[in-house]
Structure 1
Amino acid sequence: MPTYSLAAAVNAELDIRKSRFIALVVPVADRVSAMRIIDGLRAQHRAASHVCWALMAGGQSGMSDDGEPSGTAGRPMLEVLRHHELDGVLATVVRYYGGVKLGAGGLVRAYTDAVAAALKNAERIERVALVNLQIEIDYADEARVRRWVEQQAYILAESSHSSVVRLLVHLPAGALDAARAALRDLTQGRIRFPSLVP
């Protein structure tokens, strides 16, 4: 089942019984970059009552009610991201309290609706899992292999030159076996694939 990220950040603002809910949903690489965005929002909205968030980022997912009653903000926001099959995405909602209590059910609806409103205009893009392929080749094969990597639109992440040429290529996980076979053909079997040291 595919997962998606966003092509760009999206936002929305809702006024619910005098409270302002400002939603921002952004694509993020990891939890560290998500925390940077949250810190930035806290600095930008110092007068806000709450800055709640939900992060879908594989093993780094998380959420915060930021002082709202437990389970009324972060979890509902996370559920919206799950429902949209999103990953690598941070949803934040800044709330300015307007003086009227919404109750637990009202808060769940407000935070859910704020994120859903932002996502109405979102362009989803399919997330493709990338893997690293380490390559060792002779100098004679370097230009040919580099040209092939470029033609496939893969990412040449690193290269080093010693007695052999070592290249590190990022490519979609599903293309790994075919890439190895194509590179063996291209170098008439001279290429080597040392395993990556974790």
Structure 2
Amino acid sequence: MDQSLESYKTIYQGGTGEIIMKKSRFIATVSPAETEEEALDFIQQLKKKYWDATHNCYAYIIGIKNPVMRCSDDGEPSKTAGKPMLDVLIAKELTNLVVVVTRYFGGTLLGTGGLVKAYQTATIEGLNNSIIISKEPGVHMRLITDYNLVGKIQYYLGQENYHILSSDYTDTVALDVIIPADKVNAFQKKLADLSNGTLKAAEIKKTYYALIEGQVHLL
């Protein structure tokens, strides 16, 4: 497994959240973004969608090691919008995502503290309505065994909480499984132990995976 791959938290599906503070309306829109170009495209889309808004402030984080972090107050007083939004993303240890908070001014000034609170609260509301996942590095593997061993193998997989992606029962049993990247050697050794050295799983591909609503997904 590529040692540069690390687990990280991100957005599987973006959401929106809205708050009202002293008649000002704050709409947070969250989206996954794998690259800075994707983040910037999303920001431009939101600026077009909310072209009549007073402000479209944003924050995004891209990358795992030495991530790119950018934010904008879009005309709000310095460090009262984008930076507080970015602080929320950092605190929640998220990456590869972008958040835009759109403001429609309600006629009452909020002050520096009020603005910071509003933009952070809206960001949190948007994240609460998104699907946040932990992406784990793993290896999609396939093993083919006879019916005599399948019970032992399934028991072992269950004990280790390894997820079966699919199974095919014919004259033999083919199991596709996702194994955490750092457990592959131990997995192969256990298969050898269970089969007196006759069984070895084939690697299909290295991938990220995540549990989403109790189901494993390859990403």
TM more than 0.5: yes
Q: Relative to 1, partners in 2 of residues 1:175 and 1:90: Cα closer, same or farther, differing over 3 Å?
A: farther
**Paired residues, number:** 149
Q: CA RMSD in A?
A: 3.0
Q: Relative to 1, partners in 2 of residues 1:2 and 1:95: Cα closer, same or farther, differing over 3 Å?
A: same
Aligned to 2:107: 99
CA distance in 1, matches of 2:85, 2:21: 17
Q: Relative to 1, partners in 2 of residues 1:73 and 1:174: Cα closer, same or farther, differing over 3 Å?
A: farther
Please report the TM-score for the alignment, with normalisation by the length of structure 1: 0.64
CA distance in 2, matches of 1:57, 1:177: 31
More off after superposition, 117-126 vs 72-81: 117-126
- How far did residue 61 of structure 1 move? 1.9
- How far did residue 78 of structure 1 move? 0.8
CA distance in 2, matches of 1:77, 1:129: 28
The one-letter code sitting in structure 1 at the alignment partner of 2:36 is: R
Aligned to 1:16: 21
Residues 1-198 of structure 1: matches in 2 within 5 Å? 2-58=7-63, 59-128=67-136, 151=176, 174=182
- Asked if structure 2 preserves the Cα contact closer than 8 Å seen for 1:12 and 1:24, the reply is yes
- How far did residue 127 of structure 1 move? 2.6
The one-letter code sitting in structure 2 at the alignment partner of 1:46 is: W
- Asked if structure 2 preserves the Cα contact closer than 8 Å seen for 1:5 and 1:127, the reply is yes
CA distance in 1, matches of 2:185, 2:39: 33
What is the DSSP-based 3-state SS (H/G/I as helix, E as strand, rest coil) of the residue aligned with 1:4?
A: strand
Q: Which blocks of at least 5 consecutive residues in structure 1 are unaligned?
A: 131-150, 155-171, 179-185, 187-198
The one-letter code sitting in structure 1 at the alignment partner of 2:98 is: L
- How far did residue 27 of structure 1 move? 1.2
- Asked if structure 2 preserves the Cα contact closer than 8 Å seen for 1:30 and 1:60, the reply is no
CA distance in 2, matches of 1:36, 1:175: 38
CA distance in 2, matches of 1:15, 1:64: 21
CA distance in 2, matches of 1:177, 1:28: 33
- How far did residue 128 of structure 1 move? 3.6
- Give the number of the structure whose residues are more often strand, by fraction: 2
What is the DSSP-based 3-state SS (H/G/I as helix, E as strand, rest coil) of the residue aligned with 2:75?
A: coil
Residues 5-33 of structure 1: per-residue CA shift (max 9 Å, x gap): 12211111111111110001111111100
4+ residue runs over 3 A deviation: 151-154, 172-178
The one-letter code sitting in structure 2 at the alignment partner of 1:16 is: M
- How far did residue 117 of structure 1 move? 1.3
The one-letter code sitting in structure 2 at the alignment partner of 1:115 is: T
Percent sequence identity is 38
Q: Relative to 1, partners in 2 of residues 1:71 and 1:153: Cα closer, same or farther, differing over 3 Å?
A: same
The one-letter code sitting in structure 2 at the alignment partner of 1:42 is: K
Residues 81-111 of structure 1: per-residue CA shift (max 9 Å, x gap): 1122111111110111111111110000000
Q: Which blocks of at least 5 consecutive residues in structure 2 are unaligned?
A: 1-5, 139-175, 187-199, 201-219
